Amino acid sequence: MKVRINAGILNDTRAQVGIGTLIIFIAMVLIAAVAASVLIQTSGILQQQAQSTGKQATQEVSSNLIVKNIEGVRAKNNATDIAGNVSLLKIRVGLNVGSSPVDLNQLIVTISDGANTNDLLYADNDRIYGSPMSNFSSSGNALDNLEALIENTQATPGHNARYFFTVQKIRDEDMSFTQANPIMNTGDLAIIYVSTVSDGDLSFTTIGDVSTAGNQKDSNLDIGPRTDVTIVLTPESGATTMATFLTPSSYGTKEAIQLYP
């Protein structure tokens, strides 16, 4: 006798139904939505931080000044009566290729003669000492401000020569550079004036194009022959620029001396 067995597939068509299942389903949807929202918000914050960091890093790399050359000027009474030290530095600067604009109003010029160091601000900067350099004119010309740098002083912080520098533009194609707003763009060229009058050279009557009549103020620096000089330019953002040089063993009878490069 044969036994016949019917084999089949058991179909389970039962499902969970009711309010409990609906609550669980809604809770899962809400959890997924919250998780997605957190992920989106986090990714947005990370993207913004990455963009900001990238922009700052690019600016730090690209925004920097280049020192073209440095000329020293000696004070004098006449062609044969000349000071033994350099009384004024003329630092010609430009911008690196692809550099972002540089605001010289935020530039710090640090100069050392090996014994003393001056940290200099632009003459129109009022954020440190509460006022611009004494007798600085934002609407005047660079020569008048250079004269004020060399000759004038104020109760706080003191002699202008020890705390400030001034600037004169040489090339400014877009006419964006002014004494009140000294912004350098790529292609611009300017002279940074740094007074280096020593205490032994206060009686001379002329420094470069400035008639001092012996009214120049001591800068606390002495840049005589065989002096190691270090100059560091620190902009608001971007890489610092350093220029170091050793002055000649003798200045001879020259009023203007090429010091760097």
Interval 139-166: pLDDT, tens: 989 999 999 999 999 999 999 999 999 9
- Is 4 within a domain? no
- Residues 197 and 104 both lie in one domain: yes
- Is 145 within a domain? yes
211: Cβ–Cβ under 8 A, 6 or more apart, which residues? 205
Is pLDDT at 203 greater than 50 in this prediction?
A: yes
pLDDT score, position 258:
97
Are 238 and 62 in contact, with CB atoms under 8 Å apart? yes
pLDDT score, position 53:
58
- Residues 185 and 111 both lie in one domain: yes
Q: Identify the bridge partners of residue 184 per DSSP, sorted by sequence position.
A: 102
Are 159 and 218 in contact, with CB atoms under 8 Å apart? yes
Are 163 and 136 in contact, with CB atoms under 8 Å apart? no
pLDDT score, position 11:
64
Structural domain including 127 reads 64-260
Q: What is the count of structural domains for the chain?
A: 2
pLDDT score, position 96:
87
- Residues 135 and 56 both lie in one domain: no
Confidence bin at 73 (pLDDT 50/70/90): very high
- Residues 27 and 127 both lie in one domain: no
pLDDT score, position 116:
97
31: Cβ–Cβ under 8 A, 6 or more apart, which residues? none
- Residues 140 and 49 both lie in one domain: no
Quick one: how far is CA 118 from the chain centroid? 16
Using CA atoms, how far apart are residues 246 and 227, in angstroms rounded to an integer? 5
Using CA atoms, how far apart are residues 200 and 9, in angstroms rounded to an integer? 112
The stretch 216-243 carries a mean pLDDT of 95
In DSSP notation, 104-170 reads: GGG-EEEEE-SS-EEEEEETT--TTTSS-STT--TTS-HHHHHHHHHH-B-SSS-BGGGTEEEEEEE
Is pLDDT at 254 greater than 80 in this prediction?
A: yes
111: Cβ–Cβ under 8 A, 6 or more apart, which residues? 89, 117, 118, 120, 194, 196, 221, 229, 230, 231, 232
Are 92 and 65 in contact, with CB atoms under 8 Å apart? no
Q: What is the pLDDT of residues 37-59, one digit of tens each?
A: 888 888 777 777 766 555 554 44
- Is 98 within a domain? yes
- Is 165 within a domain? yes
Using CA atoms, how far apart are residues 27 and 237, in angstroms rounded to an integer? 51
Longest dimension (CA), the chain: 143
Residue with tokens 């009566």: 81
Are 240 and 222 in contact, with CB atoms under 8 Å apart? no
Confidence bin at 259 (pLDDT 50/70/90): very high
- Is 71 within a domain? yes
- Is 149 within a domain? yes
| Dihedrals phi, psi of 68, to nearest 5 degrees | -75, -50
Average pLDDT of every residue of the chain: 88
Q: What is the pTM of this model?
A: 0.78
Is pLDDT at 175 greater than 50 in this prediction?
A: yes
Residue with tokens 């706080």: 156
pLDDT score, position 44:
77
Distances (CA, A) of 188 to 59, 103, 127: 18, 12, 26
Is pLDDT at 239 greater than 80 in this prediction?
A: yes
Confidence bin at 60 (pLDDT 50/70/90): very low
- Residues 41 and 73 both lie in one domain: no
Q: Residue 249 in 3-state DSSP?
A: coil
Q: What is the pLDDT of residues 13-38, one digit of tens each?
A: 665 566 777 788 788 888 888 888 88
